[in-house]
C-alpha cells in the first residue's frame, strides 16, 4: 500500500519498509486529517525508538492540525543491531528516506529526538527542509552548539530544564531563527517528578510544536 497515498487521503497509520544504502528502514505514517498543509519527518533517539512518548504525542496531535507525521525507524533499530548507528549511516538512511516526505508536495519539517534531532540538524540545509524540530537535543555530547547553529533553517529546540545532556539554561545565545522552549523539571526523555503529570508535559511539547509550525507555515 502506498504511504504517500495514505498520507493524502487521511487513512489510518501504516508502516512502510524502505530500502536504504545502510539497510531497510521503517516509516510509520500518521496522515493529516483532511488536506495536508505540512509534513513532519521525525527520527528517534539512540536509546528509544518511535514508541517514545514525545514522538507518539506529536503523531497523535499534529495530524488533527493538518500535519502528516512520518516516524522513522533507522535500519539498525529495525534489524536490532548496532551496525549502522554511526553518524554517516544515520544520515545516509535519512537522506534515502527524504523523498518519501518531499513527494507529498507540502513543506517538510525535519526533526526528531536526541540523536534523531542531530540527524535533522546535519542534513536540513542539504535536503531542503522547511524547518528543524529538535527534541531533547544532546548539547553536551554527542551534539554540539556548532551542529545546532549550523542547521541553516528555522529551528525549534524543546529542552527539559533537568536534561543531563544539556539543560535549557546551558544553551548558548541563539540567533533569531532558533527558538528554545523550556520543559519544566523534565529530563532527557521528558520524565518529570510525580508532581507534574506526564500529560501536562506532553501537552506543553505538542502545543509549542504546533504553534511554531503554524508560524512557519504563515511565513512561508
Question: What percent of the chain has pLDDT above 70?
Answer: 95
Please tell me the total count of domains within the chain.
1
Q: How confident is the model at residue 57 (pLDDT cuts 50, 70, 90)?
A: very high
pLDDT 10s digits, 78-94: 888 777 789 999 999 99
On average, the pLDDT of the chain sits at 93
**Mean pLDDT along residues 185-192:** 96
CATH of residue 133: 3.40.50.1820
Q: How far apart are CA 38 and CA 49, in angstroms?
A: 23
DSSP 8-class letter at 13? P
At 194, the pLDDT band (50, 70, 90 cuts) reads: confident
pTM of the full predicted structure? 0.93
Exposed e or buried b for every residue in 10-29, given b needs 16+ CB within 10 A?
Answer: eeeebebebebebbebbbbb
Domain range for 122 = 3-218
Predicted confidence (pLDDT) per residue in 118-151, tens digit = 999 999 999 999 999 999 999 999 999 999 999 9
Q: For residues 28 and 13, what is the distance between their CA atoms, to the nearest angstrom?
A: 7
Among 145, 187, 148, CA closest to 165: 187
Confidence of residue 10 (pLDDT cuts 50, 70, 90): low
The rounded distance, in Å, linking the Cα atoms of 13 and 29 is 5
Amino acid at each position: 500500500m502506498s504511504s504517500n497515498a495514505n498520507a493524502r487521503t487521511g487513512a489510518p497509520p501504516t508502516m512502510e519498509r524502505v530500502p536504504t544504502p545502510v539497510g531497510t528502514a521503517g516509516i510509520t505514517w500518521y496522515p493529516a486529517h483532511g488536506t495536508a498543509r505540512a509534513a513532519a519527518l521525525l527520527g528517534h533517539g539512540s536509546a528509544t525508538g518511535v514508541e517514545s512518548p514525545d514522538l507518539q504525542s506529536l503523531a497523535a496531535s499534529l495530524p488533527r492540525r493538518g500535519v502528516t507525521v512520518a516516524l522513522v525507524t533507522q535500519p539498525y533499530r529495525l534489524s536490532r543491531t548496532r551496525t549502522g548507528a554511526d553518524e554517516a549511516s544515520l544520515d545516509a538512511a535519512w537522506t534515502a528516506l527524504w523523498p518519501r516526505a518531499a513527494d507529498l508536495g507540502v513543506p517538510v519539517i525535519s526533526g526528531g529526538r536526541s540523536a534523531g534531532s542531530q540527524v535533522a540538524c546535519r542534513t536540513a540545509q542539504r535536503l531542503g527542509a522547511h524547518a528543524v524540530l529538535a527534541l531533547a537535543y544532546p548539547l553536551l555530547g554527542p551534539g554540539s552548539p556548532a551542529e545546532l547553529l549550523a542547521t541553516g533553517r528555522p529551528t525549534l529546540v524543546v529542552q527539559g530544564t533537568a536534561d543531563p545532556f544539556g539543560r535549557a539554561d546551558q544553551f548558548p545565545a541563539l540567533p533569531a531563527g532558533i527558538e528554545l522552549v523550556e520543559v519544566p523539571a523534565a529530563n532527557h526523555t521528558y520524565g518529570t517528578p510525580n508532581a507534574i503529570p506526564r500529560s501536562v508535559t506532553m501537552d506543553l511539547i505538542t502545543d509549542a510544536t504546533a504553534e511554531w509550525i503554524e508560524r512557519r507555515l504563515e511565513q512561508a
